Structure 1
Amino acid sequence: MILEARAVDFSYDDGTRALDQASLVVKRQEILAILGANGAGKSTLLSTLNGTFRPATGNILLDGNPVSYSRKGLVELRSQVGLVLQDPDDQLFAATVFEDVSFGPLNLGLSVSQARTRVLEALAIMGIEALSHRPTHLLSFGQRKRVAIAGVLAMSPAVLLLDEPTAGLDPKSVDELCETLHSLAVQGVAVVIATHDMDIAYNWADQIAVFARGKIIMEGRADDVFGKSGFERDTDLRLPLIYQLSNELRNSGLISQDGDLPRNVPDLVHQLRSHRS
């Protein structure tokens, strides 16, 4: 465990209760997908996990220790827990890509040389080295998303929080981004994705947490969560398409009855061919 929300409450100034005794555990080397309908509280939870919002009650714990909301405590939290917003234009502000990605490391007090190394590494991870001196206002939406993520990665966070990271991206960009996030998780970064994309969550996430009415109502491995009776009724979400198809094929005896269901098209095709032969 690296990050935890423990019985957290948060309400907005108008009285809207966004988090209601919400609890969540984030583990290293794991992709956690937080699913939920609009207004469920997913974005509020992410902002609470990185200290943007302070809970009215409950605690956020980093490495098992309650977060301090002093200036020093918040700097420590945000150096370890990076948040990537849904709209990159809410995050980018510098004239060029290199300047924008440099801001975080320099703000941490790193030397120019150290910051440059961090920036080049982050740009390489996101595959945008060629954009380093491009004006940010001339980038495509997908490129701006990658720059926003690079800006957070340059801080070398232990936890990467992403709010709807695939929204607005074309299919090729979605696949590339998910591959990058998977690689980061393998390298030890805890990756948390708040998303409406059920198929992305099913394909890539190690753990699923379903958020509704300000709290986690289901969590666990993908097959366990999506296999719960009444999932769609209780969550206002649809089941992933691959899950529905794979489950129907298994029930019909057309793929293996053993092990986990296929979670993507290549795995499903492989099981169909293997079972047929």
Structure 2
Amino acid sequence: MILEARKIGFRYEDGTRALDDVSLRIVRRQKLVILGANGAGKSSLMSLLNGSFKPSAGEVLLNGEPVAYDRKGLTLLRSQVGLVLQDPDDQLFAATVFEDVSFGPLNLGLSVDEARLRVSNALDAMEISDLSHRPTHMLSFGQRKRVAIAGILAMSPSVLLLDEPTAGLDPRGVEDLTRTLDMLAAKGIAVVLATHDMDVAYALADRVAVFAAGRVLMEGAPDAVFGQADFCERSGLRLPNIFQVASGLKDLGLLPSDGDLPRSVDELLRLVSAPR
């Protein structure tokens, strides 16, 4: 475990309750997907985990220790927990890609050589090294989103938080980003994303947490959560398309009765065509 929310609550200044008694554990190498309808509390949770908001109740723990909300404590938290906002234009501000991604490492007090190495590694990880000297305002939306993520990766975080990371991306961009997040998790980073995209959630998640009215409604492995008979009624969400198709084929005896359901079209086709 790296990061934990323990019975946290949060209210905005006008008294609106965003979160109530929420507990979640974030584990290294695990991809946790936060699901919920608009207003469920997903974005508020992300801001609390990053220290942008302070809980009204409960506590956030980093490596088992409660987060301190002074300058030192927040600097420590944000050096390990990076937040990528939904709109990359809310994060990008430098003239070029290289300058933007290098801001965080230099702000940590790293040497120019070490900062340059971190920037290079982050750009490589996001497959945008060829854009390093491009003006940020001349990039496509998907490219700007990748630059925003690279800027967080250059800080070498243990936890990567992403708020609606696939919003505004075309299908190819979604596939590329999903593959990149899988790769980052395999390297040891805990990946947490809030999304409305049920198909991305099913393809990516090791674990899902479903929010409603500021509380955790369901949590667990994707097949277990989506397999609940009243999932749609309770959550206000639809089931992932691949999950619906694969479940139906399994009920018809066209997929093995044991084992996990396929998470992608390619996996589904392999299983359907495999000799039995």
TM-score by length of 1: 0.98
Q: After the TM superposition, which segments of 4 or more aligned residues of structure 1 sit over 2 Å from their partners?
A: none
Instruction: Write the distance in 2 (CA, Å) between the matches of 1:255 and 1:205.
Output: 22
Amino acid at match of 1:244: Q
- Aligned counterpart, 1:121: 121
Does residue 242 in structure 1 map to residue 242 in structure 2? yes
Aligned to 2:162: 162
Quote the residue 2:50 is aligned against.
50
Aligned AA for 1:165?
P
> Residue type matched to 2:222 in 1?
A
Corresponding residue for 2:32? Answer: 32
Q: How far did 1:187 drift?
A: 0.6
Matches for 1:58-137 after TM superposition, within 5 Å: 58-137=58-137
Structure 2 SS opposite 1:250: helix
Q: CA deviation at 1:217?
A: 1.0
Aligned to 2:194: 194
Normalising by structure 2, what TM-score? Answer: 0.99
Name the counterpart of 2:4. 4
Distance 1:229 1:61 in 2: 34
Q: Distance in 2 between matches of 1:67 and 1:13?
A: 21
Residue type of the partner of 2:11?
S
Unaligned stretches of 5+ residues in structure 1: none
Quote how far apart the aligned CAs of 1:132 are. Answer: 0.6
Q: Can you list the C-alpha shifts for 1:51-102, whole angstroms capped at 9, x where unaligned? A: 0000011000001110011101000000000000000000001111111001
1: CA distance, partners of 2:131 / 2:102: 14
Number of paired residues?
Answer: 276
> What is the CA distance between 1:271 and its match in structure 2?
1.1
C-alpha deviation, 1:253, in angstroms? 1.0
Deviation string for 1:155-196 (max 9, x for gaps)?
Answer: 000000000101111111111111111011011000001000
Q: Which runs of 5+ in 2 are unaligned?
A: none
Cα offsets for 1:201-250 (capped at 9, x unmatched): 11111001101111111010000000112000000000001000000111
Deviation at 1:131, TM superposition (A): 0.7
Correspondence 1:23 to 2:30: no
3-state DSSP class of the match of 2:274? helix
Alignment partners' CA distance in 1, 2:142 and 2:5: 31
In structure 1, distance between residues paired with 2:260 and 2:43? 30
Distance 2:132 2:270 in 1: 40
SS at the partner of 2:4?
strand
Name the CA distance, whole Å, in 1 between partners of 2:151 and 2:46: 17
